[in-house]
């Protein structure tokens, strides 16, 4: 299997999408000549031409509107929001059109489109270019929300999103673009059944730690710390936030009897708070030895200074400390 970065894996998936469907095109700001702000679409213009790789004006509303119109008239568009923060400028076509039309037309219309966006902090890009807005879209019926964490699942989940007949918000954390690993460049899947499935990264018996996007990688690193080697830690990567695979988390919590959810986004009305609510009102409630915990980003606009940015976002040492507290304080 070839070794590649997440950015390269996404480009391979985009190429497979373009090759498999003549109606598919990619549109976004600077995705053509420049190759994308993070280099993901570099080289696609030369390979597929201007008809299928479309540089757009700086207008997210227009980009999303283009995708909706193309999708309901027979195309399978993939559009890019250079920074997912500015997807807020496209809320009407995404939330009021893409998410609603299939239902409003009694199933007669599908809206097969993907909206890609670079999300998250960690690059010093400050408050307007560092947000984690995934929970906004989880709140909207009709949208699917996907958050890959490494090269392999970015490749697989983008292909699954492509064959799904629904609009998909595909959030790519900036810090995963350069992560490198071997990738199995499999064929286009026949269905989108991989969406809505979480993955157990590591099995354990003492505590269930759930995360998604780049925070999963922080959890994996934290679990390897020497101070945690005596503990058996189960790690779950949600991968898809809408629909969310809460059943797998419930099954895990019944076994470990403890739950910690880690996320970069603030806690208020978030993915983590929703998941904890679902677990607390499920059959796993009686198995819990203590209250579930949510380790989340601070409720603050993201600062650009590195020492302040790392204060707002949970770090590996914070995860280690929280796991130790949850296990040791009970013993």
Average pLDDT over residues 6-15: 98
Residue 329 confidence (pLDDT): 81
Taking only the tens place, the pLDDT of each residue in 141-170 is 999 999 999 999 999 999 999 999 999 999
> Rounded to whole angstroms, how far apart are CA atoms 68 and 72?
6
Does residue 331 surpass a pLDDT of 90?
no
Residue tagged 């403890």 (tokens): 258
**Mean pLDDT for the chain overall:** 97
Average pLDDT over residues 4-17: 98
Taking only the tens place, the pLDDT of each residue in 223-236 is 999 999 999 999 99
Domains of the chain, each with CATH number or no CATH:
3-182 (3.40.50.970), 199-328 (3.40.50.920)
Q: Is the peptide bond prior to 34 cis by the omega test (within 30 degrees of 0)?
A: no
CB 25 within 8 A of CB 53: yes
Does residue 330 surpass a pLDDT of 70?
no
Average pLDDT over residues 254-274: 98
pTM: 0.97
Residue 270 confidence (pLDDT): 98
Average pLDDT over residues 66-92: 97
Burial of 329 (0-12, 13-18, 19+ CB in 10 A): exposed
Residue 288 confidence (pLDDT): 97
Average pLDDT over residues 117-141: 96
Task: Write out the DSSP string of 185-233.
Answer: --PPPSS-TTTT--EEEE--SSEEEEE-TTHHHHHHHHHTSGGGTTS-E
Query: What is the set of active-site residues?
Result: 60, 129
Residue 264 confidence (pLDDT): 98
> Rounded to whole angstroms, how far apart are CA atoms 101 and 296?
34
> Rounded to whole angstroms, how far apart are CA atoms 234 and 211?
11
């Amino acid at each position: 299997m070839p070794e590649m970065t997440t950015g390269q894996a996404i480009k391979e998936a985009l190429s497979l999408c373009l090759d498999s469907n003549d109606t598919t095109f990619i549109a976004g700001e600077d995705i053509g000549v420049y190759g994308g702000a993070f280099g993901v679409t570099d080289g696609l213009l030369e390979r597929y031409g201007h008809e299928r790789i479309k540089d757009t004006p700086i207008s997210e509303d227009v980009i999303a509107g283009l995708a909706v119109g193309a999708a309901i008239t027979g195309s399978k568009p993939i559009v890019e929001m250079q920074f997912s923060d500015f997807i807020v400028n496209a809320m009407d076509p995404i939330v009021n059109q893409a998410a609603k039309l299939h239902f409003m037309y009694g199933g007669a219309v599908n809206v097969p489109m993907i909206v890609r966006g670079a999300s998250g902090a960690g690059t010093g890009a400050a408050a307007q270019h560092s947000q984690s807005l995934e929970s906004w879209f989880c709140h909207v019926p009709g949208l699917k929300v996907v958050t890959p964490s490494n090269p392999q699942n970015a490749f697989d989940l983008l292909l699954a999103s492509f064959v799904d007949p629904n609009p998909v918000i595909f959030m790519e954390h900036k810090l995963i673009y350069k992560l490198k690993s071997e990738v199995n460049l499999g064929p286009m899947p026949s269905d989108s059944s991989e969406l809505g499935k979480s993955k157990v990264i590591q099995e354990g018996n003492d505590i269930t730690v759930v995360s998604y996007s780049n925070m999963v990688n922080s959890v994996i690193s934290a679990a390897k710390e020497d101070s945690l080697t005596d503990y058996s830690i189960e790690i779950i990567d949600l991968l898809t936030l809408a629909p969310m695979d809460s059943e797998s988390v419930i099954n895990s919590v019944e076994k470990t009897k403890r739950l910690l959810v880690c996320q970069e986004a603030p806690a208020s009305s978030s993915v983590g708070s929703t998941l904890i609510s679902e677990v607390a009102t499920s059959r796993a409630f009686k198995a819990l030895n203590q209250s579930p915990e949510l380790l989340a980003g601070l409720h603050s606009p993201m600062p650009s200074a590195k020492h302040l940015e790392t204060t707002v976002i949970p770090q590996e040492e914070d995860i280690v400390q929280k796991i130790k507290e949850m296990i040791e304080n009970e013993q």
